Amino acid sequence: MVRKYFGTDGIRGRVGEYPVTADFMLKLGWAAGTVLTRHTEGKKRVLIGKDTRVSGYMFESALEAGLVAAGVDVDMLGPMPTPAIAYLTRTFRAAAGIVISASHNPVEDNGIKFFAADGYKLPDQVELEIEALMDEPLITNSSHHLGKARRLNDATGRYIEFCKGTLPAGFDLTGLKIVVDCANGATYHAGPRVFKELGAKTIAMGNTPNGFNINEQCGSTHMDGLQQAVIEQQADFGIAFDGDGDRVLFVDGNGEVVDGDELIYIIAQHRRASGNCRGVAGTQMSNLGLELALKDLGIPFERTKVGDRYVVEALKANNWELGGEASGHVLCSDLNSTGDGIVAALQVVLALAESGRTLAELKTGMSKFPQTMINVRLSAKVDISNNQVINDAVTAAETELAGRGRVLLRPSGTEPLIRVMVEGEDQALVNKLVASLAETVEQQVG
């Protein structure tokens, strides 16, 4: 299926450059409203939430106008984490939810993500229907058939209560000292409040968004500030979200970063003790150390293509509940339909509390393998799968790793480049092999 606009995670790009423009979003709102209401009998209601980028105001207004022109009622949520919009789409029985966000990207970017009525990403066929309608003229309904728009003022409170409700009744965090970095993004309000209302002494940072400072030297893409704050405040640990709140990373009491693979291991280990972990879905980029650690626990593990869409598909197919990526996109599908930074963080905190161990102690059961990646930029997108020289080089590298490592060559889905990744037990060997493979790829197709 050839797509013109939708990627694996919606539509994303530089603000002001097509298709991330006001006129495109107006047309997208109309097309989406027209198509989505075909698939949801009797439901003509769509929620719109956003992160804290200044461009969100513009795109929110444009989408609202397009949806109303198509006869769809619109509920404006304001700045809200992406997983909150998935949750509220379900609870409000809406036809769909729309997120205006570029996640962990800088403020110059923005994008659109859709959730269907069940809180999951839109099916491919629905996205293709929306794209097809983008080529048709926008037709505005008559006055008596227009939609209406309103702002929901209690959306954040509803989501906070949902997050707290994912923990056992009576669970509290009294006695814990936590630093929470909100990336000046969508969790700036809900994130600190959840942990504070659960009884923790909560120190918030990255919680003063001004429209331009989202992900700017803060949050899960810039961990230095949180590491320093945890040490200075003598906190038990720190939590970092990304700009739209669907990713989370931790910093332990020693100031060491705990990545998504390690968090998945901690949750899996805790759930296994109660017989509630049938399997884990990761991606091609998941560390080999996670796979081996789960094997030691007797927990099945499956790799998918990179992207939360594929992790969700694997969880559904296997009837599993836990998966994610090293970036901190952790899915607990028994609790929410998409990656949820706050909910995942609470699952880690639950494991800490019920084990009586520290974060540094809990992660020791998993030994991460050194992993190095080099991006080889190309003049144009090229299929390397049948290049014999590259394939021979990959085989030689895998032989040298002797079954205790991995080689992955992955084309970027958005740019003309090949990501060359090598993973193994010996960092020096990994560095040597990845450099050699990157050079081979560049000589062949660069």
CA pseudo-torsion sign 383, 386, 388, 391: positive
Quickly tell me which residue has 């049948």 as its tokens: 386
| 274 flagged as catalytic | no
Query: What letter would DSSP give residue 221?
Result: G
Neighbours of 75 (CB within 10 A): 20
Q: Tokens standing for 383?
A: 């299929």
List the strands of the sheet with 248-251, edge to edge. Answer: 201-205, 177-181, 237-241, 248-251, 257-258
User: Among 178, 176, 179, which Cα is nearest to 226's?
Assistant: 179
Alpha carbon distance 144, 315 (integer Å): 44
Q: Indicate the pairing of strand 109-116 with strand 11-14.
A: antiparallel
Q: Which residues contact 31 (CB under 8 A, 6 or more apart)?
A: 66, 70, 130, 131, 133, 134, 136
As a whole number of angstroms, the distance between CA 203 and CA 311 comes to: 33
The number of angstroms, rounded, from the C-alpha of 430 to the middle of its chain's C-alpha atoms is 28
Give the number of C-alpha atoms closer than 13 A to the C-alpha of residue 35, restricted to the C-beta side: 23
Catalytic residue (choose from 55, 101, 103, 286): 103
Which residues on adjacent β-strands are paired with residue 377?
Answer: 417
Residues belonging to the active site:
103
